[in-house]
Structure 1
Amino acid sequence: MVRPPDNRADGTAPPVRSAAAARHTADAAVGPARHLGAARRTPKWLKITTGVIAVLLVGVIAFGAYWAIRLQGNITTAPLSAGSMKSENAVNDSTDRMQILILGSDTRDGKNSEYGNSNDSTGYGHSDVMMLMDISADNKRVNVISFPRDLLVDIPQCTDPKTHKVYPAQSGVMINSAMSEAGIGCAVDTVNKLTGLQIDHFMMADFNAVKELSNAVGGVQVCVSDAVYDPDSKLRLPKGTSTVQGEQALSFVRTRHAFGDGGDLGRIKAQQGFLSSLTRKIKDDGTLTNPSRMLGIADAITKNLTIDEGLASVPTLLTVANRLKNIDVGKVAFVATPTVPAESDPNRLQLAEPAASQLFTAMRNDVDLTDPTAKPSATATARATAKPTPSAAAPAYDKTLQPVTVANGSGVPARTQAIMQTLQGAGFTQVGQLTAQPVAKTAVYYGANFADVAADVAALLGVAPGQVLPAAGVAGVQVYLGADFANGAPTANAAPALPKDIVNQTAGDTVCQKANPELITR
């Protein structure tokens, strides 16, 4: 076929048409024949529907972006550590066992100025609350361990991340002061040193977090044994169950005198009772599966929250929240670190041994505190602290310089001298004795840098490696004799048992707080 000549002034060629279309008309300029069908018009209803969907999608995206930007903008961050090196790899926030240190700050800056002035808190402030939340890898249980603010501990050397000033290690100071000089990371390092764990994240909230969170959920039910009034915190409650929120909720968790004997342990139990009730309220109301409620709570929390950089994204926070939504409240265990009045100051507390070391060992081994006989998860072994083993070669230390004490809880006083003579005969000349409470199982405890000495002492006495435990309150090595060592060697491979009352309550328990008799009103 011969193409007609191109006579267009602009020199462009006409559109190329198919031969079929050209056959229906002799005039090439007419285009396709009309009976082949004009282009169909889009129905009006489809245009409207498409427009509505487009507007909705834009709205959803804009809403999500607004909240993501808002929540992200609320977040304040700080370093996870103040100098201590972490030997474990970073956890997978979705699937790994995770430990989060939860702190309440007593800082009086900004919105917190109504609770005092800057003179009431120094440096980075003190931790008004300190709890370690331990989430199992299978998301089936949570342990929440409370540390009394008056607990005397050793604080490691810490570096202020802002000024880079190095603060030397301290011994026998209150745990709530761990963050005051070098920041939150120093509190994390202190709890790591105390427990032998390696914390993955932290969350620190101020006074207003409790007020706004309790308002966001519509109040939290609490119970007290008697009508009580604390003039310091201004907490006033009638006997029985009440719903607290806002300022009253804050007074409930802050009061230091209203419960128990007016000390820190009564305060801890009240805080645990409040959190138990809050957990039930959130789960019963379906809050964790309700996006609108979750956003309100997230906004209330993040405005008053400081977290580590590894946790500092909205998706990561939602991942952690998602892990908690299906946990049985009966498997959320609240525990107070075992303590006794401190020998150096009866107004302060020290770790109660062997109960504290047993607790920390159970935590390192991922034991279910609500059912210690249950089999640990498969990931526990990988993350547990390695147990010391007896030295095969000559020890790389001078035995005559190693402090070893014998605490006799066997019920047989004569065993003290017998064990001391055995130790001295083996070359351990710095041997002393301590008074001890009766215990069932023998254990060897050791302080920092004495793991090798403890292993050798345990091997000498026939104590199984599983009963050789780190203990933050021990200087050197301590042999704690139990009833199993009353006459001969201790029971082989019998790990110390957890105290029967180690769990104060679970989130499924409704507990009435015992009012301080001195503050009961009529």
Structure 2
Amino acid sequence: MTRRQPPEGADPAAAPPSGASGEPTGEPTVGDGAIRGTSDGDGPIGRHLGHARRHRGLKITALVMTTLIVAAVAFVGVQVLRLQSNVVTLPLNLAEGQESALPVDSSTDPLQILILGSDTRTGNSGEFFGDESDSSGEGNSDVMMLLTLSADRENVTVVSFPRDLLVPLPACMNPDTGQPSEAQELGQLNAALNEGGPGCTVAAINNLTGLSVDHFMMAGFNAVSELSSAVGGVEVCVQEPVDDEFSGLRLPAGTSEVEGDQALAFLRTRHSFGDGGDIGRIAAQQSFMASLARKVRAEGTLTNLPKLYSIAEVVTRNLTVDEGLSQPAEILKIADRLKDVDLGNMAFVTVPVQPWDQDPNRLVIDEAAAAPLFDALREDRGLTEESAAPSAPASTPAPSEAPATPEAPAFDPASVPLLVVNATTDAGRAAEVQRLVLEAGYTQAVTFESAPAATTLVVYGPGYDGAAEDVATRFGVAAANIIADPGLVGVQLQVGADLATGSAVVVPPLGNELDGQTADQVTCQASSGL
């Protein structure tokens, strides 16, 4: 088709091409400048219109983004101020003649934080544990734990101190009265809080350990109740049903989730576990803390800012801290350090103690056993490191070796229904353990695949306690992990990650054979029988 050319000398733009009626056809031509401008961007009209629209759009977008950023910054600022306004502060160290810790970088330095739980009723309704007249002032320390975080971000150690522990107490200036307390050669550690606030307890711990504690956190009754509810409950395990009239703790045998008042009762009961004293209660507290760590890690709480903020709000609303820890940013730095620590490197231990020779109801430090623990803390070593434990004598089998074969049982293993539950990530592990129990005479042993679990448990029904003890002995399962279940017939052996290889549970080293556990271990509390 031949394109029609305009007459010679005519202005190409003077008369647009027309159809038969003389109206514009709308068909673009090479000489149609307006159309050319809108089609290829060279025409003056099209260029200016396009850029005007684009500039207006960019301005609107920039305005919207700026508004959002300003709003977000303002929101964060308001929330941080709100968190900070929740916090109550007290001096870090109130001992006469004892210097406070030097400033530390919460992100990179070794860090020690003394965690205290006060038994005062102030600020609590009193309906659960009595009225406010039961204690006054700061009260005594109901919980005393020293949290240490290693500089390399690989180890966390939590050392529990019994409330009945007698230690040297320094003279402390009481911040409320302005009067100094008298130094004591031996005084009850939990009473230091009432003498001079948390700063006096910090001073006593410094004297005892040779450390210079960097911070403290003191929580009231409501902290545990609200925190346990904020995370949706914490799983605990008891070997027998618990109905404690003193604390109000009521639990069935086995595992349960506790929150609110029941979580607080689990942590405070002195009558339900172990020997009915403070050591059994500390073991329950350590188990609770380990379970809380596992839940927080599994749900990604420490990397989820909305969840982390809600927990930070609960914590700050119920905390008294030293000035250095009063900034919410410092608490978030600590959370950042905790988020990547392997659960197997989080150790919960009790400071080694022994009965006081003048009163068996009071405890004193077992100095020989405690020295390696305090050395490790001062040297910034984790307790799960192999180097922290002394070398075992040549005659002592390593933990990974099979324990000695138990004596012939007083029952017939062939009569025991035994379920081998594989809770490891090795699909063939159940068959390996089944072979071991078949060789021991448990001819009814069958296998079952389950979700992975950290700890090996032996669960037994009525009449099978002897078989449970025999199975536990064969595989090196601790007594705390032998659990009675009245609804079970026979015995169940849950093979956890600590029995993933070999024929005996591998016990993580805890320094000088310290009493405690790591965060990846699931433990069940034994009844005190009281």
Normalization by structure 2: what TM-score? Answer: 0.65
Paired position in structure 2 for 1:90: 103
Distance in 1 (CA, whole Å) between partners of 2:282 and 2:379 is 25
CA contact (8 A) 2:347 2:384 kept: yes
Q: Deviation above 4 Å: which 4+ runs of structure 1?
A: 37-40, 497-500
Aligned length: 364
Measured in 2, the distance between the counterparts of 1:129 and 1:329 equals 22
Structure 1 segment 76-225 matched on structure 2, within 5 A: 76-83=88-95, 84-86=97-99, 89-114=102-127, 115-225=129-239
| Structure-2 separation of matches of 1:112 and 1:178 | 25
1:301 matches 2:315 = yes
**Aligned residue in 2 for 1:263:** 277
Within 2, Cα distance between the matches of 1:311 and 1:499? Answer: 30
Paired AA for residue 98 in structure 2 = M
Q: Report the AA paired with residue 335 of structure 1.
A: V
Equivalent of residue 82 in structure 2, options 51, 70, 73: 70
**DSSP-derived class of the 2:124 partner:** helix
Cα RMSD (Å): 2.3
Tell me, yes or no, if the aligned pair for 2:172 and 2:200 is still in contact at 8 Å.
yes
Cα drift, residue 41 of structure 1:
2.7
**Structure 2: which amino acid aligns with 1:309?**
E
Give SS of 1:517's match: coil
Give the Cα–Cα distance (whole angstroms) in 1 for the partners of residues 388 and 366 of structure 2: 25
Letter in 2 for 1:349: L
Residues 228/303 of structure 1: CA separation in 2 closer, same or farther (3 Å cut): same
What is the match of residue 61 of structure 2?
49
Q: Is the 8 A contact 1:333 1:503 kept in 2?
A: no
Q: Secondary structure at the match of 1:302?
A: helix
Change beyond 3 A, Cα 1:499–1:370: closer
Q: Which amino acid counterpart does residue 74 of structure 1 have in structure 2?
A: N
Deviations 1:286-306 (A, max 9, x none): 000001100110011110001
CA 1:42/1:160 → structure 2, altered by over 3 Å: closer, same or farther?
farther
1:320 CA drift (Å): 1.1
CA distance in 1, matches of 2:155, 2:76: 31
How far 1:55 sits from its partner (Å)? 3.3
Structure 2 counterpart of 1:501, from 513, 516, 527: 513
Amino acid at match of 1:131: M
Shift of 1:113: 3.5
Q: Is the 8 A contact 1:112 1:207 kept in 2?
A: no
Give the fraction of aligned pairs with identical amino acids, expressed as a percent. Answer: 50
Question: 1:258 offset after TM fit, Å?
Answer: 0.8
Shift of 1:194: 1.1
Map residues 308-327 of structure 1 onto 2, 5 A cutoff.
308-327=322-341
* Counterpart for residue 283 of structure 1: 297
Distance 1:87 1:59, change over 3 A: closer
Q: Distance in 2 between matches of 1:336 and 1:104?
A: 16
Distance 1:85 1:171 in 2: 17
Deviation at 1:96, TM superposition (A): 0.7
CA distance in 2, matches of 1:132, 1:233: 25
What pairs up with 1:422-433 in 2 under 5 angstroms? Answer: none
What is the rounded CA distance, in whole Å, between the counterparts of 1:116 and 1:236 in structure 2? 18
* Alpha-carbon distance, 1:316 to partner: 1.1
SS of 1:111's equivalent in the other structure is coil
Paired with 1:270 and 1:38, the residues of 2 have a C-alpha distance of 76
Q: Which runs of 5+ in 2 are unaligned?
A: 1-43, 390-508
Q: Determine the C-alpha separation between the residues in 2 that align with 1:173 and 1:231.
A: 30
Distance 1:272 1:59, change over 3 A: same
Q: Per-residue deviation at 1:146?
A: 0.1
Displacement, 1:56?
2.1
Tell me the CA shift for residue 62 of structure 1: 2.4
Instruction: With the length of structure 1 as denominator, give the TM-score of the two structures.
Output: 0.66
Any conservation in 2 of the 1:358–1:498 contact (CA below 8 Å)? Answer: no
Q: Deviations over 1:88-131 (max 9, x none)?
A: 63222111101000000111112353333333223321111000
Q: Distance in 2 between matches of 1:92 and 1:348?
A: 38
Q: Give how far 1:53 is off.
A: 1.9
- Of stretches 298-307 and 346-355 in structure 1, the one that deviates more from structure 2 is 346-355
Distance across 1 between alignment mates of 2:510 and 2:388: 13
Among candidates 287, 293, 303, match of residue 273 of structure 1: 287
Q: Deviations over 1:426-474 (max 9, x none)?
A: xxxxxxxxxxxxxxxxxxxxxxxxxxxxxxxxxxxxxxxxxxxxxxxxx
5 Å-filtered alignment, 1:417-496, equals: none
- Secondary structure at the residue paired with 1:233? coil
Give the whole-Å Cα distance in 1 for the aligned partners of 2:250 and 2:317.
Answer: 28
Deviation at 1:501, TM superposition (A): 2.5
CA distance, structure 2, for counterparts of residue 42 and residue 111 of structure 1: 63
- Between the aligned partners of 1:347 and 1:503, the Cα distance in structure 2 is 19
Distance 2:100 2:245 in 1: 47
Distance 2:101 2:138 in 1: 27
Say if 1:243 and 1:48 are closer, same or farther in 2 by CA, change over 3 A. same
Question: 3-state DSSP class of the match of 2:374?
Answer: helix
Contact 1:151/1:349, CA 8 A, preserved across alignment: yes
SS of the residue 1:231 aligns to: coil
Q: Distance in 1 between matches of 2:374 and 2:48?
A: 81
| 1:59 CA displacement | 2.7
Cα contact 2:384–2:510 (8 A) shared by 1: no
Which amino acid is 2:345 matched to? K
Report the counterpart of residue 229 of structure 1 in structure 2: 243
Deviation at 1:370, TM superposition (A): 1.4
